[in-house]
Structure formats: structure tokens, C-alpha cells
Amino acid sequence: MKRLAKVDLSRKMGSKKATERLDAATLRLLHLRLLLGGQLGDHRIGPPLCVVFEGWDASGKGGAIKRLVSPLDPRHVR
């Protein structure tokens, strides 16, 4: 069975908690990108980072991706 088929659609998350989780994930992604890009640590270039989104059409994936990558250096994002 696919993972999306197991999602409980009755669960809800408040906007404050959603914002907190998005902010935490954004900072984590930024840290990973800097670490993997050699800007933290020993300054060696590491492997690229791939983030995969899965969701139904029109579920907000595009907006989430834009918010997630907005603080990153555009020279390192495609």
C-alpha cells in the first residue's frame, strides 16, 4: 500500500505549529546544505542534497518547496 493511502485526513495542525515546524525544517535544510556544500566544517565540497516531496495534486507542494528553499543560496539550488 502506498504511504499516501495511509494518511489520516481527519488530523489537523494549527497554523502556529505548522509555522514552527516549517521554520525548523527550513533551518535544518539550510544547515545540511551549508554542511554538504563545504561552507561549514572542513570546507570540503560534499555530496548534493535531494529533497523529495510526495502529495496529491494541488496540495501545496509548490508553495512548500518555495518556502523551504527561499533562504538558500540560489547558486546551489535547482
Return the closest-CA partner of residue 31 out of 75, 78, 68.
Answer: 68
Return the closest-CA partner of residue 45 out of 30, 31, 35, 57.
Answer: 35
Quick: pLDDT tens for 10-65.
998 899 998 899 889 888 877 777 776 656 566 665 566 777 887 778 788 888 88
Q: What is 21-37 written as a DSSP string?
A: HHHHHHHHHHHHHHHHT
Q: Is the pTM of this model over 0.75?
A: no
Cell 502556529, located at residue: 16
